[in-house]
Amino acid sequence: MRIVLPALAASFFLAGVAIAQNQTTPRTLTWQDEIAKGFVPYHQLTVDDFPVKDHIHPNAVFWVQPFINWHYHYYLKPNLGGYVYAYVSDWTVFSGINKNECSQKSLFHDMKAQLPFAQALIDINELHARELAILMSGDLPRGSGTSFEAAKIDLDDRIKVFCEARLEKIQTEGGAFAKATNNGQNKKKVQELAAAIRKQLDAVPAPSPSPTATAPSTLPVPNATVAPTASPVSK
């Protein structure tokens, strides 16, 4: 017996320890939906990606904010012993830049020079997003329980833990990069480390869907949005 249902994953938005309430959508999400919310696909940064916003991130002269947004369905498979297993299907990952949070201060006039530093942070995020995007259903956690509801909840919890572990890795690598480059002030080190990061990124296939594609299923898809690195540059 195989029952296909939309996943009800616990959606969360992490920047530090902030957690947002889960929200489901009535239809399959596309990049157009993400862009409408200010989440834009990965690209090479320009100064235009950092609008002047003096009211947010008060202790940073500029702020770069990547994101990973994953969507999936699941199916439930009971066995003869009365136990139920939940498996991920239609795993889709969106990633790029959260333009709602990216900003620079009005008195800061050196954004162009800081783009390589900011780009490397985005590239770290994109590298892990692509690695997540190419995972097959069998590579992802499965849930189990004594009922359909218990199996679904167990799957949601395991996916959350699985993705939080990746989030922590991104934050650690971003922090190490910032420290090694003195928050981007050591331009030579930025160039050296950024080139190595980009080489790793280029070796991993770009994720699907493309900016014009839809998620693979026509069932309603919930979303779980992660902002893996919130990277301020202090005044």
The pLDDT-based confidence of 28 (bands split at 50, 70, 90) is low
Burial class (CB in 10 A: 0-12, 13-18, 19+), 223: buried
> What is the Rg, in whole angstroms, of the alpha carbon atoms belonging to the chain?
19
Query: 186 in a domain, yes or no?
Result: yes
Q: Is position 153 within any domain? A: no
Structure-token pair, residue 27: 């239809």
Q: Hunting for tokens 């981007």 — which residue is that?
A: 184
Residue 187 has pLDDT above 50, yes or no: yes
Q: Is the dihedral of CA 128, 134, 136, 139 positive or negative?
A: negative
What is d(CA 186, CA 118) in angstroms, rounded to the nearest whole number?
13
Q: Is residue 82 part of a domain?
A: no
Residue 161 located in a structural domain: no
* pLDDT recorded at residue 230: 39
Mean pLDDT of all residues in 192-221: 68
Q: Report d(CA 197, CA 29) in Å as an integer.
A: 30
Structural element, H or E, at residue 35? helix 31-36
Kindly state whether residue 172 falls inside one of the protein's structural domains.
Answer: yes
Summarize pLDDT for 38-84 with one digit per residue, the tens: 999 999 999 999 999 999 998 899 999 999 988 888 999 998 788 99
- Can you list the alpha helix ranges (DSSP code H) found in 95-147? 111-133
Total domain count for the chain? 1
CB 204 within 8 A of CB 146: no
Tokens 């990277």 correspond to 231
Provide the β-strand partners of residue 41: 96
Q: What is the mean pLDDT of the chain?
A: 80
Mean pLDDT on 201-216? 64
pLDDT of residue 123 exceeding 90, the answer is yes
Residues of the domain holding 198: 8-71+94-137+166-234
Nearest to 201, CA basis, from 128, 96, 117: 128
